[in-house]
Amino acid sequence: MFSVRRLLFSAVVALVAGQAMAIPMPLPLRRALAHQALEQREPAPFDTIHAYAKRAAADVNTIPAEVATTSPDGVIQVYGNGNSKRAAADVNTIPAEVATTSPNGVIQVYGNGNSKRAAADVNTIPAEVATTSPNGVIQVYGNGNSKRAAADVNTIPAEVATTSPNGVIQVYGNGNSKRAAADVNTIPAEVATTSPNGVIQVYGNQKRDVNMIPSEIATRSIDGVIEYY
């Protein structure tokens, strides 16, 4: 009996202690404990944070902003001769209206130094005349007449069919825009037609194989004739 009471008492004590430990610590108490821990800390210097460390002297750009710099090995230094101005050979002193080029990196006049095109490159032929330039020289195309040759002009009425087998426009067929009588279908639309030799004619005897047997009776047509199945 005594041992049972002790076991029950121990269980109650453990339950109460667990509940007490689960309760969060009040904020004032936590602040007091933190302040106490800070006061007990030894007066040693704080460690240097790497993010706030000063850069090395070689990493600081002390060159004026208007001077170009470079850092081939990670050390900032003056670029070129230390003069921010471009070399004389790199400055374009040629007037803007004159074409220039720089084959070896030196700006120089392009061609003859004249911004105007050569006479052979200027089209002095009237705009209505066709031109060509097979060797780079503008010249009249063909006979110099912007009008087409008589053989290339279609003088045949628009309603007449034409063809040009050799590049010469001519009447197609018999010159009659109307179709031949044999090519006109005069058979009524409801009659089937065929044209085995190019002549329109009636197709077959026009009588269909009509099924006169009632629809509820099965049928077949072995030889093309509808009969009972």
- The domain limits of the chain are 182-229
HEC string of 14-53 equals HHHHHHHHHCCCCHHHHHHHHHHHHHCCCCCCCCCCHHHC
pLDDT of residue 84: 60
Instruction: Using alpha carbons, select from 119, 122, 96 the residue that is nearest to residue 109.
Output: 96
**Is residue 74's pLDDT more than 70?**
yes
pLDDT of residue 64: 86
pLDDT of residue 44: 63
Least confident of 48-57, 91-100, 128-137: 48-57
Per-residue confidence band for 24, with pLDDT thresholds at 50, 70 and 90: low
**Is residue 140's pLDDT more than 80?**
yes
Q: Is the dihedral of CA 170, 175, 181, 187 positive or negative?
A: positive
pLDDT of residue 52: 61
Q: Tell me the two tokens of residue 12.
A: 């109650």
pLDDT of residue 116: 65
Determine phi and psi for 100, rounding to 5 degrees: -130, 165
Question: CA torsion, points 166, 167, 171, 172, in degrees to nearest 10?
Answer: 60
Per-residue confidence band for 6, with pLDDT thresholds at 50, 70 and 90: confident
pLDDT of residue 92: 77
Looking from the CA of 177 toward its CB, the CA atoms found within 13 Å total 7
**What is the rounded average pLDDT of the residues 137-158?**
74
Instruction: Indicate the pTM of the whole model.
Output: 0.22
**Is residue 113's pLDDT more than 70?**
no
Per-residue confidence band for 159, with pLDDT thresholds at 50, 70 and 90: confident
Residue that wins the pLDDT comparison between 167 and 170: 170
Per-residue confidence band for 208, with pLDDT thresholds at 50, 70 and 90: low
124's CB contacts (< 8 A; 6+ apart) are 138
The H or E element containing residue 69 is strand 69-70
pLDDT of residue 200: 81
